[in-house]
Amino acid sequence: MQTELSKRLGVEHAIFGFTPFPAVVAAISRAGGFGVLGAVRYTAPDDLKRDLDWIEANVDNMPYGLDVVMPAKKVEGVTEADVEAMIPEKHRQYVRDTLAKYEVPELAEGEVSGWRITGWMEQVARNQLDVAFDYPIKLLANALGSPPVDVVERAHERGVLVAALAGSARHARKHAEAGIDIVVAQGYEAGGHTGEIASMVLTPEVVDAVDPLPVLAAGGIGSGQQVAAALSLGAEGVWLGSIWLTVTEAEMHSRGVTRKLLAAGSGDTVRSRALTGKPARQLRTEWTEAWDDPNGPGTLPMPLQGLLVAEALSRIQKYEVEPLLGTPVGQIVGRMNSERSVQEVFDDLTRGFEHAVDRINRIAGRGDQS
C-alpha cells in the first residue's frame, strides 16, 4: 500500500493512524504505517514531553507526527475564566439535573475533572508545538483547518509537513492557498468533528480541488477494501482514527466504553454538539439525547459547551454510568467487534487491500498472467 506520499515519509503503508494513545502511535509506526499523536488533551507541556520521550524510545526510529487543535481565529487577552463566565446558569442547572437523574456521584473533594477543552485555545497549542518541535516529528496536522501562517513557516523550516482537515472542496482550496502540504478529506462518516459530505463524494472533489497536493481520505474507513477504494478515488493514503479505539494497546479510560464500542453497530452513532458545541460524531447515548432534546436549553457554541460539560463527563467516565457513557467514534464502529492488536489490524488491512486489488484486476482482465 505504497504511494508517493508514503515513500516521501519513509513508511511501508499509506495508512496514517490518529490516536490519543502513545502506545498506539508507536505500534502503528512499527507496523509500517504513520502514527499521529492527538495532542488536545495535553494542557501541561511536561505531560506531552513525557509521552513524546516514550514514543521516541519505542517507535524503533520509524516516523510519526502530531495533531494539534488551533482555532482559525485568534482571540487576544481572553482567559479560561473569562470564557467560563459566559456560560448561562440555566445550562449549568441542566447539567446538574441530568446528572442527578442518573444518580452520578460527585468527584472526590479536591479532585478536578480529568479533561477540559483548554486544548482548543491557541496558546495551549503553541505551547505544545514548543515542545514537539524539539522532537523529530515528520508531520504536523491541525484539526480545525489551516494553522496560522507563522506555524506553517515554523514547521517547514524544520522539514515538517503540514496537514489540515477539510470537510468540503472549498475548505480544501483555502488550505492549499495557506501553504498546506497535505489535505485530509474528512467525510461525514468520521468520528469527531465532521462536515455534511460523505467520503465517496468528498474525496474525489478534494483531490480535484487541490491537485497536485496529496490528499488523505478519512471517514468510514476500516478495511483494506475501503483503503483500496480511497486510493482509487485519487487519495494518496488514508487517515484512520476510530479503528484504533479498541486495539489492545489503547489505554481507554473505561472498560465500559470499550464494551459499548464492541457492541455498537454502524447506526449507533450520532452527530451531536453535546461534547464541544460543534457537530461531532460519537456514540449515541442518553447524554447526547438529553442535549438534542427540544425541551432542553440546547448546546452552547465552542468552547463554552466543552467547558460546561468537562466535569460532568469526568464523573460519567469515572463511575462508568452506562446510559451516559460515550466517546467520539465514526460509523466504522460497526466493524469494531473484537479487540485486536495494532499489528492484527494492519494484517487485516493489507489482506483486504490485496483481495480488492486482485478482484479489480480480474474484472479489468488483468489477472495473473504467469
Task: Assign 15 to helix, strand or coil.
Answer: strand
φ/ψ of 65, rounded to 5, equals -140, -175
Q: Round to whole Å and give the CA distance between 337 and 347.
A: 16
CA distances from 85 to 73, 88, 90, 291, 315 (A): 20, 8, 13, 21, 22
pLDDT in tens, 72-130: 556 555 666 777 889 999 999 999 999 999 999 998 887 766 555 554 567 788 899 99
Q: Which of 271, 248, 275 is nearest to 336 (CA)?
A: 248
Residue 165, number of CB atoms within 10 A of its CB: 27
Residue 2: the pLDDT is: 93
Average the pLDDT over 320-346 and give the result: 96
- Could you report the per-residue pLDDT of 144-160, keeping only the tens digit for each? 788 889 999 999 999 99
Specify the pLDDT at position 250.
95
Indicate the pTM of the whole model.
0.92
d(CA 49, CA 245) in angstroms, rounded, equals: 23
What confidence category does residue 306 fall into, taking pLDDT thresholds of 50, 70 and 90?
confident
Question: Which residues have CB under 8 Å from 108's CB, separation 6+?
Answer: none
Residue 66 has pLDDT above 90, yes or no: yes
- 164-219 pLDDT, tens digit per residue, is 999 999 999 999 999 999 999 999 999 999 999 999 999 999 999 999 999 999 99
3-state secondary structure of 229: helix
Mean pLDDT of 11-15: 97
Instruction: Say if CB 252 and CB 220 are below 8 A apart.
Output: no
Q: Residues 142, 164: contact at Cβ < 8 Å? A: yes
Q: Indicate whether 369 pLDDT > 60.
A: no
pLDDT, mean of residues 42-68: 95
What local confidence, expressed as pLDDT, does residue 232 receive?
A: 97
Per the model's pLDDT, the better-predicted residue between 10 and 118 turns out to be 10
pLDDT digits (tens, 9 = 90+) for 251-295: 887 789 999 999 999 999 999 999 989 899 999 999 999 999 999
In one letter, which amino acid is 92? Answer: R
- Mean pLDDT of the chain, nearest integer: 92
- Classify residue 147 as exposed, middle or buried by CB count within 10 Å of its CB (0-12, 13-18, 19+): buried
Pairwise CA distance, residues 100 & 96, whole Å? 6
Q: CA neighbours within 13 Å on the CB side: how many for 246?
A: 25
Query: What is the predicted pLDDT for the residue at 73?
Result: 59
What are the CA-CA distances from residue 246 to residues 39, 110, 187, 344 (Å)?
19, 32, 21, 12
User: What burial letters (b/e) apply to 70-89, b meaning 16+ CB within 10 Å?
Assistant: bbeeeeeeeeeeebeeeeee
Mean pLDDT in residue range 343-363: 96
Is the pLDDT at 227 greater than 50? The verdict is yes
Question: What is the maximal distance between C-alpha atoms in the chain?
Answer: 73
Q: What is the DSSP letter of 194?
A: -
Grid cell in block for residue 181: 502540504
Q: What is the pLDDT of residue 117?
A: 54
What count of Cα atoms within 13 Å lies in the side-chain half-sphere of residue 100?
6
Confidence at 368, pLDDT banded by 50, 70, 90:
low
Share of the chain above pLDDT 90, in %: 79
